[in-house]
Amino acid sequence: MTGPISLPRARGCLFDPPDAYHALTESAALHPLRFPLADDGWIVTQHAAAKVVLGDSRFSHRNELIASPLPPPFPLPPGTPISPPPAEPGAFNKMDPPEHTRYRRLVGGWFSARAAERLIPAIEDTARELLAAMVEHGAPADLVRLYARPLPARVIFDFLEVPEDIREPLHNSLDVLMRLRMSLEELIEAVTVATELLDELARGKMTEHGGGMLGELAQRGLDVLEVRNVAWALLGGGTDTTANMIGLGVISLLEHPDQLESLRNKPELLDNAIEELLRYLTISQFGASRTATEDLEVFGHPVRAGQTVVVALPAVNRDPRVFPEPDRLDLARSTRGHLAFGYGVHKCIGQYLARATLRVAYPALFERFPELRLAVPLHQLAMRDDMDHYGVHEIPVRW
């Protein structure tokens, strides 16, 4: 076994995960990984091992502050405490069962496949409006600013009945928190703004009648802090993710014209195409991390209590044992078992909402602009390797 490596980051092709993952996936289930602020841990790139780690309750989710495989966003002041504070009430995305289970049960019903299906006509209206505004703007236009970013945000803001006047400042502060590098001042500013606006939102839901899902949670006994943190988890998880799947997905289709053509000729391919784009692009570029709560063994490798394992989802979704010719975008392939939404108890609560949004977003765009094309060469696009979720910062297009 070789010594610990740093998290691979360099991508050879903008649609592929870092090249270094290939060799890792071929050679072993787990590899020692260096963490900037914590003891050495492990990285998993094989599909089977990923499911073992994400499915084992002896691994905790309570780790992300310290045991990040990435350097901190700014140099930490000396004396910064290096153990994570307990998750705040309602922040279920940072909890372990049984606390996590209680909130997931409360919120889960709102995010079923059927609930998402019912939202499709409203998502279609929003998409149409944004595309009309794009026509009004004229070419060249930034697809991210005018379509990919606002569409999923409006879907989730509408769904949570977030008042219009706080949407833009809230969205902007959530975006800042997705950056991997920022100053301490920027972090404090973004956290302060998001906290104030989400507190205002939650307080409104305590008194309002018919305040949608959040109002109902309040009626079922959740307090302001809990409602605020549930909203934070959903808005934090539900804006940037789908936005980047729209942006990067559109570019992948434009760069694979045969695949785009096959989708145009066979609209019934759409659902599978979306799963394949989710697999192929896996925008959760740094994967999911879990920390062992006791000494255990994974595929013969000893993981000590307190060690963190990074499950590199982009690599896992390119494991050739599960996806033959994994680096090929093939909208018709079997995508069964892809882990783009994670696995286990924390598997994405918004997966059906994301799928519903994508099911509208791609066809609406390509139908409105059959001649859609990039307005700059591919290599000039600024990729989001500096953000939590992979994608593209700006996509100038013509039509």
131 versus 339: smaller Cβ distance to ligand HEM:
339
Q: Which of 72, 212, 306, 342 binds ligand HEM (CB under 6 A)?
A: 342
For residues 311 and 194, give the distance between their C-alpha atoms in angstroms, rounded to a whole number: 29
Q: 10 Å Cβ neighbour count for 184?
A: 12
The binder of ligand HEM chosen from 63, 126, 241, 307 (CB under 6 A):
241
Q: Of these, 348, 360, 392, 395, which contacts ligand HEM (CB under 6 A)?
A: 348
CB of 148 to ligand HEM, least distance (A): 11
Answer yes or no whether residue 151 interacts with ligand HEM by CB under 6 A.
no
- Using CB under 6 A as the criterion, what x/- string covers residues 273-292 for binding ligand HEM? ----------xx---x----
Residue 238 as a binder of ligand HEM (CB under 6 A): the answer is yes
- Taking CB under 6 A as the criterion, the residue among 46, 242, 285, 335 binding ligand HEM is 242
Which of 231, 233, 316, 381 binds ligand HEM (CB under 6 A)? It is 233
Site track 91-130 with ligand HEM (rule: CB under 6 A), x = hit: -xx----------x------x-------------------
Report the residue number, 204 or 350, with the smaller CB distance to ligand HEM.
350
Q: Could you say which residues in the range 297-336 bind ligand HEM, by CB under 6 A?
A: 313
- Beta carbon nearer to ligand HEM, 347 or 373: 347
Q: Does 346 bind ligand HEM (CB under 6 A)?
A: yes
Which span sits near ligand HEM by CB under 6 A: 20-28, 36-44, 134-142, 232-240?
232-240
Question: Of 64 and 186, which has the nearer Cβ to ligand HEM?
Answer: 64
- The distance of closest approach from Cβ of residue 309 to ligand HEM in the complex, given in angstroms and rounded to an integer, is 12
Q: Per CB under 6 A, does 352 bind ligand HEM? A: no
Binding mask 47-86 for ligand HEM (x = CB under 6 A): ----------------------------------------
